Chain A
Amino acid sequence: MVKKNLSLIGLLMATVFIIAVPASAQKVQGVTDTEILIGQWGPQTGPAAPWGAVARGTDLLVKIINEEGGIHGRKFKYFLRDDSYQPAKTKAIAKEFVEQIGVFAVVGGVGVATGMTARDYLMENKIPWCGPVTGVYEWITPIQKYLFAIYPLYDDEAFNLTGYLDEKLGYKKIAMFYQNDDYGKQGVMGVERYLLKKKINLVAKVSAEVTDRDLSTHALKLKNSGAEAVIMWTMPTHAALILAETAKIGFKPQWATSSTLSDSALMMQITKGLWVGMINSFFGELPDSNHPLMVKYREWHKKLAPQERWGVFYYAGIIFSEPFFEGVRRAGKNLTPETWISAMETLKNWQGIGPPISYSKPNHPMDRQGGKHVFYGKVKPDGNIQRLTDWIQITK
Chain B
Amino acid sequence: MDIKRNYYEDIELFKSNTILVWSILFLIFLGILPWLIQKYHLLGMSIYIVNLITIHAIVAIGLNILVGYTGQISMGHAGFFALGAFTTVILILRWSFPLWVALPIAGFVSSAFGFILGLPALRLKGPYLAIATLGFGMTITTIIKHMEFFGGRMGLQAPRLYLFGTPMKDIHYYYVIMIIAVLMTIGAVKLIKTRVGRAFIAIRDSDIAAEAMGVNLTYYKTLAFAVSAFYTGIAGGLYAFILGFINPESFHLIMSITFLAMVVIGGLGSIMGSIAGAALMTFLDIKLQAIQDIPAIGPALVTFSQKYMSISGISNVAVIVYGLIMILIVLFEPLGIFGFWIRTKRYWKTWPF
Seen from chain A, the residues whose Cβ lies within 8 Å of a Cβ on chain B are 44-46, 49, 52, 56, 80-82, 84, 86-89, 91-92, 95-96, 99-100, 112-113, 116-117, 119-121, 180-182, 211, 307-308
In whole Å, how far is B183's beta carbon from the nearest beta carbon of chain A? Answer: 23
Smallest CB-CB A-B distances: 4 pairs: A113-B247, A44-B312, A44-B315, A116-B245
Let me know if A81 and B250 touch, CB within 8 A.
Answer: no
For the A-B complex with A82-B289, A182-B152, A308-B311 known, give 10 more contacts whose Cβ atoms are closer than 8 Å: A44-B313, A56-B313, A82-B314, A86-B250, A87-B246, A87-B247, A88-B239, A92-B46, A92-B286, A119-B245
Closest A residue, CB atoms, query B293: A79
Let me know if B48 and A82 touch, CB within 8 A.
Answer: no
The listed residue (A80, A117, A121, A181) touching B145 by CB distance below 8 A is A181
The listed residue (A45, A88, A100, A116) touching B319 by CB distance below 8 A is A45
**Distance of A318 Cα from B303 Cα, bound (Å):** 22
Segment of B62-70, B128-136, B153-161, B200-208 engaged in the interface with chain A: B153-161
Main secondary structure of the interface of B (DSSP, over half): helix
Let me know if B311 and A56 touch, CB within 8 A.
Answer: yes
B9 at the interface (CB under 8 A from A): no
In whole Å, how far is A314's beta carbon from the nearest beta carbon of chain B? Answer: 10
The listed residue (B48, B152, B315) touching A91 by CB distance below 8 A is B48
Q: Residues 138-171 of chain B: 1 if any A CB is under 8 Å from the residue's CB, otherwise 0?
A: 0000100110000011110100000000000010
Task: Collect the chain A residues with CB atoms within 8 Å of residue B244's CB.
Answer: 91, 116-117, 120-121
In whole Å, how far is A72's beta carbon from the nearest beta carbon of chain B? Answer: 26
Task: Collect the chain B residues with CB atoms within 8 Å of residue A80's CB.
Answer: 313
Q: Residues 282-323 of chain B: 1 if any A CB is under 8 Å from the residue's CB, otherwise 0?
A: 000110010000000000000000100001111110110000
In whole Å, how far is B305's beta carbon from the nearest beta carbon of chain A? Answer: 10
Let me know if A88 and B250 touch, CB within 8 A.
Answer: yes
B99 at the interface (CB under 8 A from A): no
B44 at the interface (CB under 8 A from A): yes
**Distance of A112 Cα from B247 Cα, bound (Å):** 10
In whole Å, how far is B295's beta carbon from the nearest beta carbon of chain A? Answer: 14
In whole Å, how far is A375's beta carbon from the nearest beta carbon of chain B? Answer: 28
**Distance of A116 Cα from B153 Cα, bound (Å):** 13
Q: Name which of B154, B157, B314 has the most chain A CB atoms within 10 A of its CB.
A: B154
**Distance of A16 Cα from B98 Cα, bound (Å):** 53
Closest B residue, CB atoms, query A87: B250
In whole Å, how far is A255's beta carbon from the nearest beta carbon of chain B? Answer: 24
In whole Å, how far is B194's beta carbon from the nearest beta carbon of chain A? Answer: 34
**Distance of A286 Cα from B316 Cα, bound (Å):** 30
Let me know if B52 and A88 touch, CB within 8 A.
Answer: yes
Task: Collect the chain B residues with CB atoms within 8 Å of residue A100's CB.
Answer: 41, 44, 46
**Distance of A60 Cα from B312 Cα, bound (Å):** 13
B13 at the interface (CB under 8 A from A): no
**Distance of A91 Cα from B313 Cα, bound (Å):** 21
| CB proximity to A under 8 Å, residues B236-285 | 239, 242-247, 249-250, 254, 285
**Distance of A21 Cα from B310 Cα, bound (Å):** 44
Task: Collect the chain A residues with CB atoms within 8 Å of residue B254's CB.
Answer: 46
Task: Collect the chain B residues with CB atoms within 8 Å of residue A96's CB.
Answer: 44, 46
Closest B residue, CB atoms, query A46: B254
In whole Å, how far is B232's beta carbon from the nearest beta carbon of chain A? Answer: 15
In whole Å, how far is A337's beta carbon from the nearest beta carbon of chain B? Answer: 21
Known: A44-B313, A82-B289, A88-B250. A117 touches B245 (CB 8 A): yes
Q: Name which of A82, A119, A120 has the most chain B CB atoms within 10 A of its CB.
A: A82
Task: Collect the chain B residues with CB atoms within 8 Å of residue A116's CB.
Answer: 155, 157, 244-245, 247
Let me know if B154 and A182 touch, CB within 8 A.
Answer: yes
